[in-house]
Every structure is written in structure tokens, then in C-alpha cells.
Amino acid sequence: MTDKIMIEVSYALPKKQIIIPILVTKDISVKEAIELSGIIKKFKEIDLSLNQVGIFGKLTTLDKILRDRDRIEIYRPLIADPKEIRRKRAAEGKQMKKGN
């Protein structure tokens, strides 16, 4: 049995995505793996005190212990609130119907 596991650290921009595979020791946390990957040096806008993180699309905490083949995802802040966008679209749709 090995004391190493393979994980990936990913981050996506609107036109670019990076996935960094790394071999790490067992019992490593999300935060430690992100730091070890070097991704923070490549993307200065990543701030672990602000950016949310997840494993395979499910939000998690920085102290979560990783398992073999986990993919850490670092999320960017939303530019617009999806609920607000839906409200605006719905309101525009109603206005257009009234005008016909």
C-alpha cells in the first residue's frame, strides 16, 4: 500500500481552464494541496479567504482531507447573481407581452 495519492487542482477563467495533476501524501488537506500545486502563483486573483472551493462540483472546506483521484475546483466569484438575472428576464418577458 502506498502513502501517496493522485489528485488534481483546477481553476477556470472565461476562456481558459487549467488542471494540475499532482502526487501528494495521504492525509493532505484541500488547502495544502492547492498551495503545493503552485496554482496560486500562476493566478494572482486566487484568494483562498475569498474563493470557494469544491471537490467534483460539491462545495467543501479548506481543511477537508483528500482521497485518491479527487479533483479540487477553485471557484471564481460570480459577476452577476443568477436569481437577479432570471428576475430581469421574467420582467422583460412580461413587459413584452403587455406591449403586444
Q: What is the pLDDT of residues 19-73, one digit of tens each?
A: 999 999 999 999 999 999 999 999 989 999 999 999 999 999 999 999 999 999 9
- Alpha carbon of residue 100 to chain centroid: 43
Give the CA distances from residue 83 to residues 79, 86, 95, 96, in Å, rounded to whole numbers and listed in that order: 12, 5, 18, 20
Whole-structure pTM over 0.85, yes or no?
no
| CATH code for the part of the protein at 4-99 | 3.10.20.30
Q: What is the pLDDT of residue 41?
A: 93
Q: How confident is the model at residue 78 (pLDDT cuts 50, 70, 90)?
A: low
